[in-house]
Structures are given as C-alpha cells and as structure tokens.
Structure 1
C-alpha cells in the first residue's frame, strides 16, 4: 500500500494543492467542485483548513491556485481535443469531475507512488471517470516517457491538449526546456499547451510555513517562458491572474504579475 510518506518531496506538494481544492469546494460559491480533494487529505492524515491562510504569500498562492484550477478547467474543455495529457498529474481528478465530450481520452502521467496513492483513494470512493482514462507511471525527467505514452495509445498525429499545472517551477531551465521539447515533438499542429508564465523565484518572499513548497522551486524557464515557446513552434497568449480575479469577482490579496499561458502548436515548418 502506498502511503504519503512514500511520496517524493515534490509529489507531496500535490497534497497541498488538494487542500486548496478542498477548501474552495467547501465554499458556498465555489469556482469549481472537486468532490475527491478532501478524501486525499483525509487519507494522508492532513486536517482540512478551517479558514483561509494568514500570511501574504500563502494567501497569494491559494488565490492563484483557485483561479488557476478554474482557468485550466475551462480551457481544457474549450480545446475540444480528443486527447488530453496531464503532465505530473498528481492528485488531479479532472478525468472524474469535468464534463468531457464523448470520446475524450485523458492520459495521466506522474511517478508511480503518487498515482498509486491516488488510485487507492479513488477506488475506495468508487469514483468513475467521465472520459476514457489511462494512468501511466512515468518519470518526466527520463527520456523514455514519450514512447511509453504512444505505446499507451496516444496518437501524435491527432491534435491534443496538454496541461503542465504547477510543474515547471520545480524544474531547472534545462529540464523545463527538455520537457517542452518532448511535448512539442508529440503535439500535432493545432494542439494546445496550458501552463503558468514563469516567475523569478529568487524574489520569492521567505515564509517558513511554506518552505516545503518554495524550497523546492527551481524556476523553470522563468519570465522567459512565453518567449521560449514562441521561438519553438508555438503561438502563445497570456491571461493575467488579475484579469481572472476580476472576471470571477475574487479580489486578490495584493497586486500580482502572475499569469497563465495558452500555447497553440503551429504547423510544422512554420516559424521556428
């Protein structure tokens, strides 16, 4: 039986994200409903928050996590792709909680222990996916995961939607570039990629209560994320966190430069 203690430090951050989703789902006016998030916390022995966070950084991260979830939910469904790939899926339950079009196939990739923990909780709840779901244990830092994804039924010749939610910040610039290069090789023209616009992690305020998260940050491609994608076969758009907060009438705890990138794969040979 896989326990939370068996998870890597980065994998354990998925529990923090689940807590945010559980907190939002308990509100009288949630932006989304995740009926499984609280069960992950309970299985891990983590108490559910009775109120929102206290520190400024924690409030900012929670607000971003909530708005990010809703944004990605909406954009994945709007993409209308028959193939959806959740990179470092963690405790993501979109395959179970979103109203996918008929015929959608969702691939969830992550390390084996975190997927085993998730399956144990979902099986105990009798959770049923709303799409054809393929769970694929894989280390995204290793070179063989693209071939394993294709072997599992992914078709690189068809448009797809990719989600790298909260992932790149835990990677070095080289690791992030290698991962996105592998995604680009699998993404047919018209495919979509969703991820955060990178930040300068060296400027992150110190908060001891959040060191288990921020201490793992490596920055990914940082503020140059969009530039890298635009130069490597994608056309990008940016939605700011502040715009999302205004759209959903959710005041932010302070000004924010955070934003979310939606990239569309250009036809082969068009630009870089």
Structure 2
C-alpha cells in the first residue's frame, strides 16, 4: 500500500472511483446483475466528465474501431458485477445466520449499507481513510440517502495499528460474531501485510464469525505477466481517452506470494473457494474464450470460524 496523501480522484482514491463507475455502468445495463443507484451519485459528485462517461456504461467513448478494447472493457465490467453479487450474497447468508455486525475493510465507495435489504437494522462498520469516508458520507447525505443499516464510519488506515481499537470505539462488540468483507484490498498488500491483517481479523473474530475475500494469486494465472500487462495497457488507454487517473494496477504488490485460503485453513477457518470465471459463467456473463487469459480473474473465498 502507499501513503495517504491523496484525495478521492488520485492514487488509491481513483481505485474506489473506478469500482463505483463500474457498478454504475452495470446498473445502467438493460438487465443488470446488480442495481447500485448510489454509485452514479458518487461519480457525479466528482464532477469530472471522464468518470461520468465511464459510469454511463455505453462505451461510446472508446470509439467504433476498438472492438477488442470494447469487449475487454465489458468483461471487466462483468467481473466487477460478479464480484459484487458474490459479496452481496455473502451478506445475505451471514445475516441469515444471525450475525448482527458487518465489518467492511477498506470500504471505499461501497454502498451496501444503503442498498441491501438484508442489512436492515444491522451494524455496519466501514473502515477506510478519512478522505474517502468524508466524501462518501457527505455526498450521500446531500442527496438525502438513508442507509438501511446502522452505519459506523471508522476513519483509519488499516496499516495503523490502532484500527482494532478504533473499531471497538465505534461500537463493535468483540464477543459477538462478525462478518468481514475484504473486497478490492488484497492486491495492494505485501505478504507481511496480508498475514498481519488476517492475523488481527482472526484474533478479533468470535466463533461463528464469517469472512469473504477477493483473492488474486500473484504468481499464478490470476496475476501472471500477460494478464497484468494487458490490464495496465488497458488502464493507460482508458485514462488517455477519458483524461482520468484510472490505473488501478499502479499500486498492486505483485511480489506478494500469499495464499489466503491456505492461510485461513491453517489458522482454524473452514474455507470454500470459487473461481471468479466459474461464477461469471454461472451468472450468464462468461468470459469470451479469446479473452480468458487477459480478463480479470480471482478466487472468491468464504470462510467460517467454528467453535473450538
């Protein structure tokens, strides 16, 4: 991860915007996998034409001659939509099991606390840097948005060792079961940061707690040189076409060798892992065969911490 001297439109802030723009673009489709009307509100608040064009979802800004680029962009949008469905369904299962507190690590512009009926009355703790928290909360408040959940912002960098204390100070109850969401975070961590983060989460988790994580395996087919190189080239092309900072790969720690599923198993969690490409196919958004080696791919991991 990098330092925190950035705002919502630069550096890591742009990664949060990029995901929100993809969710807005998916919502604008005739038959979307997810509906996140708050994503477009957040993108509009930035007031930059490039981000707004990206959020419309019609890909008109790419021009008529770049068919491969358009198909690759659609596959990227389909991936974000599939990932969103995965974490939405996790929230539904977790709350149905009786969990009453949800912790979203590096929450970014996540609006689940506003749009998911399953979170009605649930305590949702959103951990992220103050600049992100302020932008999201103030923007949604201006538009009169009301969360379905009881939202508890925790404005802190996850690299700050005080974050567990700040989480507790925000009303989180250590003795109660928790559901942890780790979305769009792990690619930016080193192996040491990965292990430290999950070590803290495990220490904080009461038996019966659940966890969902989006995992990229850097040394394997998920983040091989070809896939990452194509991703970076595509981000550069999008940034140039729209005049925005959209390179979400710039901060990826591709020296990371973590295996999240194995780490969790070794530390007492019961783990299931899905390939995102299989999930995309299940949801009717399969990756075209000629793009299978370059479109985004990850493991979608769920875990439960059983009683001793």
TM over 0.5: same fold? yes
Q: What is the Cα deviation at residue 223 of structure 1?
A: 6.0
Higher mean displacement: 192-201 or 159-168: 192-201
The structure in which a higher percent of residues are helix is: 2
Cα distance in structure 2, aligned partners of 1:255 and 1:266 = 36
Segments of 5+ residues of structure 1 without an aligned counterpart are: none
Cα distance in structure 1, aligned partners of 2:24 and 2:91 = 21
Q: Does 1:260 align with 2:297?
A: no
Which residue in 2 is equivalent to 1:205? 229
TM-score w.r.t. length of structure 1: 0.89
- Per the alignment, do residues 68 and 163 of structure 1 end up closer, same or farther by CA in structure 2, a change over 3 Å counting? same
Pairing of 1:1-272 with structure 2 (within 5 A): 6-7=7-8, 9-44=11-46, 45=48, 46-49=51-54, 50-52=57-59, 54=69, 58-80=73-95, 81-100=99-118, 102-200=120-218, 201=223, 203=225, 204-206=228-230, 207-210=232-235, 212-219=247-254, 222=257, 224-253=259-288, 254-255=291-292, 258-268=298-308
**Cα RMSD after superposing both structures:** 2.2
Describe the SS at the equivalent of 2:126. Answer: strand
Cα distance in structure 1, aligned partners of 2:137 and 2:185 = 21
- Per the alignment, do residues 101 and 195 of structure 1 end up closer, same or farther by CA in structure 2, a change over 3 Å counting? closer
Is the 8 Å Cα contact of residues 58 and 210 (structure 1) preserved in structure 2? no
- Per the alignment, do residues 47 and 71 of structure 1 end up closer, same or farther by CA in structure 2, a change over 3 Å counting? same
Describe the SS at the equivalent of 1:213. Answer: coil
Deviations 1:130-173 (A, max 9, x none): 01111110110011100111111111211110001010101111
Deviations 1:185-231 (A, max 9, x none): 11111111111132214522243342521121014855612111111
Cα distance in structure 1, aligned partners of 2:36 and 2:107 = 15
Is the 8 Å Cα contact of residues 82 and 279 (structure 2) preserved in structure 1? yes
Cα distance in structure 2, aligned partners of 1:221 and 1:189 = 29
Segments of 5+ residues of structure 2 without an aligned counterpart are: 1-5, 63-68, 237-246
Describe the SS at the equivalent of 1:6. Answer: coil
Is the 8 Å Cα contact of residues 160 and 188 (structure 1) preserved in structure 2? yes
Deviations 1:35-76 (A, max 9, x none): 111121111122233424726764443222110001110111
Deviations 1:67-113 (A, max 9, x none): 00011101111111200001100000000000025531101010000
- Per the alignment, do residues 219 and 189 of structure 1 end up closer, same or farther by CA in structure 2, a change over 3 Å counting? farther
Describe the SS at the equivalent of 1:61. Answer: helix
